[in-house]
A = this chain, B = another copy of it.
Amino acid sequence: MDPLDRRGFLALGGAGLICTIAGHQITTDGGQVDVEKLAKEVPVPPKVAAAERGGGEPRRELAAFATSSSAVREYWIAAEAMNWNIVPTHRDQMMAEKVKEGKTTFKAYGYRPYSPGFKSPLAPAQVPGPLIEAAVGDTVIVHFRNKTGSPVTMHPHGIFYANEMDGTYKGKWTDPGGFVQTNRTFTYVWEAREGTEGTWLYHDHGPMDPLPVFKGLFGPLVIRKPGEVPPEAEFFLGFHSWDPTVTGLKGNYACINGHAYAGNTPTLEATTGQRVAFHVYGMDNFFHTFHLHGHRWIEPDGRIADTKTFGPADSFRVEFTEDNPGRWFYHCHVFQHLHMGMNGWYIVS
């Protein structure tokens, strides 16, 4: 039960540079990074500082964004630090093995949903963050409060957003939405215009990138077609990995929704006859190959498939009518990732 050491780092693709922040090179074999300490050295960009002083570019009024939308979907989401246990059961039900003796808990970041006005949390801070859902025609408003010790943001995929709403750190061109400091709140306004339907995601894209993403700041976003009836059984699965630079733990974890190894990863359930949809996305440095036992689906191009290869920030949906009862695996078919925890149960009754 020897914990993984440096060899583990290499298992998921090679040691080396993660990023350069404030003149420091962060590498995978440089030990755990203290993101919040590093964040202190990052200067506030000029437009952000100006906005804080009350000058600079005026924030576009909410009314200017309003389309003739059917609805406004409003969210209150905070980025927070929390203790997160990657392998709570310390067991891998697939190989019937004990795994990861010792500590599997570390201080992660998670997006956390709150009731209006941030009055009270609607759920614990988790990895991934809460599902943001809209239909074509809606306006999505996200009140984002940063309760971590580093500037972080929310950057969406797929949905329409004006330039100052892209939640992206851009060096000296950074807008307030690209550099939300500790205890500040920023209101993102995005539009689910025609031609934005699909399975998407959101994640941090701030000055500490990719460290906050790697600590857990990502989540799913879905835009429904007009009149779409969601499938009866629907799952949103983020494939990502954790290494010691981020966790301070020994070894690497290949995770689905923040956990590793069957029995810790999501155990999904459906019944025969149901319409079932898996929404899948990646959010690390690797490609993954989603595979589901006992089933197959029709790809948008008409091809029948039971595997699908994807990279970081790719997102897709596979859908079928359930017809095959039993306890099934879903997993990443990259054998190395499968055996580092990237598998789970799909149980059909």
Report the bound CA distance from A168 to B343 in whole Å: 13
Name A23's contact: one of B1, B27, B93, B304 (CB within 8 Å). Answer: B1
A29 on the B face (CB < 8 A): yes
Contact between A304 and B29 (Cβ–Cβ < 8 Å)?
Answer: no
A107 on the B face (CB < 8 A): no
User: With contacts A296-B195, A307-B313 known, is A16 near B328, CB below 8 A?
Assistant: no
Contact between B336 and A17 (Cβ–Cβ < 8 Å)?
Answer: yes
Shortest Cβ distance from residue A14 to the other chain B in the assembled complex, whole angstroms: 4
Residues of chain A from 158 to 210 with CB closer than 8 A to chain B in the complex = 158, 160-164, 166, 168-173, 195-198, 200, 207, 209-210
Report the bound CA distance from A1 to B20 in whole Å: 9
Task: State which of A64-72, A114-122, A230-238, A282-290 sits at the interface with chain B.
Answer: A282-290
Contact between B96 and A172 (Cβ–Cβ < 8 Å)?
Answer: yes
Name A328's contact: one of B17, B163, B299 (CB within 8 Å). Answer: B163
Contact between A312 and B326 (Cβ–Cβ < 8 Å)?
Answer: no
**Chain B CB within 10 A, most for which of A20, A207, A285:** A20
Contact between A162 and B326 (Cβ–Cβ < 8 Å)?
Answer: yes
Contact between B160 and A304 (Cβ–Cβ < 8 Å)?
Answer: no
Report the bound CA distance from A130 to B326 in whole Å: 29
Which residues on B sit within 8 Å (CB–CB) of A93?
A: 170-172
A83 on the B face (CB < 8 A): no
Report the bound CA distance from A168 to B28 in whole Å: 35
Instruction: Mark interface residues in A111-144 (1 if CB within 8 Å of B CB, else 0).
Output: 0000000000000000000000000000000000
Contact between A11 and B17 (Cβ–Cβ < 8 Å)?
Answer: yes
Interface residues of A, CB < 8 Å — how many?
Answer: 103
A73 on the B face (CB < 8 A): no
Which residues on B sit within 8 Å (CB–CB) of A339?
A: 17-20, 209-210
A301 on the B face (CB < 8 A): yes
Contact between A312 and B333 (Cβ–Cβ < 8 Å)?
Answer: yes
Report the bound CA distance from A171 to B16 in whole Å: 36
Closest residue of B by beta carbon distance from A315:
B307
User: With contacts A14-B12, A20-B95 known, is A310 near B309, CB below 8 A?
Assistant: yes
Closest residue of B by beta carbon distance from A27:
B7
Which residues on B sit within 8 Å (CB–CB) of A168?
A: 293, 329
Instruction: Mark interface residues in A300-331 (1 if CB within 8 Å of B CB, else 0).
Output: 11111111111111111000000011111100
Name A164's contact: one of B166, B196, B326 (CB within 8 Å). Answer: B326
A38 on the B face (CB < 8 A): no
Report the bound CA distance from A306 to B172 in whole Å: 25
Closest residue of B by beta carbon distance from A329:
B168
Name A20's contact: one of B10, B99, B252, B316 (CB within 8 Å). Answer: B99
Report the bound CA distance from A169 to B29 in whole Å: 35
Which residues on B sit within 8 Å (CB–CB) of A326?
A: 162-164, 166
14 A-B pairs within 8 Å (CB atoms) are namely A4-B16, A7-B15, A13-B13, A16-B252, A16-B336, A94-B171, A170-B327, A196-B296, A289-B314, A299-B300, A300-B301, A300-B303, A309-B309, A309-B314
Q: Given A200-B306, A301-B301, A308-B314, 4 more contacts at CB 8 Å?
A: A163-B294, A209-B339, A210-B339, A312-B334
8 smallest A-B Cβ distances: which pairs? A11-B16, A163-B326, A309-B311, A96-B171, A289-B311, A301-B301, A210-B335, A19-B339
